[in-house]
Amino acid sequence: MLPDPLLHLVELLARLPGVGEKTAQRFALYLVAEKSGTAQALGVALHELGQRVKPCQRCGNIAEVDEHGKAICLVCRDTRRDPALLCIVAKVQDLLAIERSGAMRGRYFVLGRLLSPLDGIGPDELPLQKLFERISGDGVREVIVATPPSVDGEATALLLARELSARNVVVSRIASGVPHGGDLEFADQITLGRAIEGRRSIDSR
Ligand SMILES: [Zn+2]
C-alpha cells in the first residue's frame, strides 16, 4: 500500500519506545504531508545527534561534543558541585529524575546496566574499573547508590557496597519506601520490606 521509502520510515519509527505500528504510520504520513519543514529539520537534527551528542566521558550522562572532540556533560562541568560526593545510577533517565529533585549536590556515575545473573550479566559486565578510577581520581569520599528498588537493583547495590567498602568511601543507599501518596496494598514486597527496615520512630511528644 505505501511506497518503500515511507514503509522504511514507518519501520524505523516503530522501533522507538512506546511507538507502535499505527502511531509510526501516523507520524510518517504527517511528516509527508506537513509543509513547514519539520521532516527536513528532523533529518538534520537526527544526523547531528550522532556527531554532536555522546555519552559523557566521565560519568555516562548525555553530553555535547566540544570543538576538541571531548564529551563532558553539564553536571561534570559544573564547578559548584562537590567532587567528593558521587551518586551511582543505572541509567541516564534516573540521573535526570534525581536532578529534577534538586537534592543532589555532587556528581554522578551511570552504570548503563545492572547486575542480572538470570540474564547472564555478572560483575565483569559492569564498568567497575572505570568507577574505581573515578573514585580515586576525584578523591570521592561518599557514594550514594541510587539503583532502583528491584531484584537487580538491590543485587547491584550490594555488590557496590562490598566493592567500595575496601576503598575508604562511605557508601549509602537511597531510602526507598512506599511512594508518597502510594497505597501499601500495591507496593511490591521488596519496597515494602525496605520501608519497614528503614523505619524511624515517630516522636509523639
Ligand atoms: Zn558527566
CA of 104 to the centre of ligand 1 (A): 14
- Distance CA(81)–CA(198), nearest Å, equals 28
pTM: 0.76
CA of 82 to the centre of ligand 1 (A): 13
Place of cell 537511597: 174
Give per-residue pLDDT as tens, 90-107: 999 889 888 887 878 999
Predicted pLDDT at 204: 39
CA distance to 118, 155, 165, 183, per residue, from 151 (Å): 11, 6, 21, 21
CA distance to 24, 119, 147, per residue, from 93 (Å): 23, 22, 12
- Distance CA(47)–CA(45), nearest Å, equals 5
DSSP label at residue 15? T
Predicted pLDDT at 59: 96
Cβ-contact 79, 133 below 8 angstroms: no
Place of cell 528498588: 149
Predicted pLDDT at 193: 66
Predicted pLDDT at 149: 77
- Strand, coil or helix: what is 45? helix
DSSP string, 117-171: GGGTB-GGGS-HHHHHHHHHHHT--EEEE---SSHHHHHHHHHHHHHHHTTT-EE
Predicted pLDDT at 183: 62
- Distance CA(144)–CA(87), nearest Å, equals 5
CA of 124 to the centre of ligand 1 (A): 22
- Distance CA(122)–CA(114), nearest Å, equals 9
CA of 99 to the centre of ligand 1 (A): 13
CA of 130 to the centre of ligand 1 (A): 13
Regions of the chain where pLDDT drops below 50: 202-205
CA of 75 to the centre of ligand 1 (A): 6
Mark the residues whose beta carbon lies below 5 A from ion ligand 1: 56, 58-59, 61, 73, 76
CA of 71 to the centre of ligand 1 (A): 8
